[in-house]
Amino acid sequence: MPLRVDESESDVDREDEQQALHEYYVLGLEQSRLDSGPGLVEFERTKEIVLRHLPDARCDVADIGGGPGRYALWLAGLGYAVRHRDLVSLHVEQLTAASAGRDDIDTAVCDATRLDLDDQAVDAVLLLGPLYHLPRRRDRLQALREARRIVTPGGPVFVAAISRWAARLNGVLVEQLYRHLPEILDEVERVERSGELRPLFPGSFTGYSHRPRQLAAELRAAELDVVDLVAVEGPTALVPDLTERMKDPIDTQVVLEAARALERVPELLGAGSHLIATGRRPAH
Ligand SMILES: C[S@@+](CC[C@H](N)C(=O)[O-])C[C@H]1O[C@@H](n2cnc3c(N)ncnc32)[C@H](O)[C@@H]1O
């Protein structure tokens, strides 16, 4: 069923969206997504972007929409105490199994727009997923306001988005999805107009894609100061043999250095798959 973006929609539409999201994530693809190729670039780059603004002191960090918990496990390994939340019970079960015996990771099923965490419960928030699964602006702002509510004043909020042009650049140009999904060639123009990623088949990825300036504007609308906005992969996402290259240590360094060097070039911000905006709850 197509997702619509009309702001006047009822709760039933939100249920349809969540049904589509579950149909995709129940396939279990998230567990290994960050292990190779484009996922590995995303993982390495996201970690370095987060470390730039994460408090040094080993404090409490919320990982909202944390998937199977790759970032939660990484942060706990660095000494942070992690509050992990995700809408998909499979992901919470996977992290529960992976973190068995640890007392520094707390995980639960929870909606990013209605968090079960107290005001100022944590010193930093990762919101690396929910924003690109919420097609309505009001829901995205609600998720951002929830992140702002739970972080201490002055604390960072790291917000990931999918680039508005990822459907064409990655889906059509690089992955050639049109070979088994010809309708994507008509769909892609609509995605670029509306941002909305509708389900093209049962179990397809659904959600929302941002323009870079729009992402920054949404953080500000949620009363977060924008301290940085970078492309995660940038044009490296367009390298056709990226999976092979990421198996070689020198090629890997060249790819990561290119992503780093181009991360703030305004003309190239939307050229990769993901953006990360770093927001900060104002100190007063
Ligand atoms: C592509 S995964 C990203 C997982 C991980 N944060 C990462 O960056 O690899 C997106 C995650 O966001 C979660 N998610 C989407 N909408 C959500 C919401 N409203 N509340 C909580 N989690 C949500 C999904 O269940 C999924 O685990």
- In order, the DSSP letters of 172-232 are IIIT-GGGT-TTHHHHHHHHHHH-EE--SSTT---EEEE-HHHHHHHHHHTT-EEEEEEES
Name which residue leads in pLDDT, 203 or 268: 268
Kindly report, residue by residue over 247-269, the tens digit of the pLDDT: 999 999 999 999 999 999 999 99
Q: How far is the CA of 112 from the centre of ligand 1 (A)?
A: 9
Would you say the CB of residue 112 lies under 6 angstroms from ligand 1? yes
Average pLDDT over residues 9-33: 82
Is residue 2 assigned to a domain? no
Within 8 A by CB and 6+ apart from 16, the residues are 1, 3
Q: How many CB atoms lie within 10 A of CB 243?
A: 13
Distance CA 9, CA 106 (A): 34
Q: Give the CATH number for residue 274.
A: 3.40.50.150
Is residue 3 assigned to a domain? no
Is residue 43 assigned to a domain? yes
Please name the residue whose Cα sits nearest to atom 22 of ligand 1. 65
Number of domains comprising the chain = 1
What is the pTM for the complete model shown?
0.94
Please name the residue whose Cα sits nearest to atom 6 of ligand 1. 66
pLDDT of residue 257: 98
Pocket test for ligand 1, best of 30, 41, 75, 94 (most atoms within 8 A of CB): 30
Which residue range(s) make up the domain with 20? 11-280
Cα-atom radius of gyration of the chain, to the nearest Å?
18
Is residue 6 assigned to a domain? no
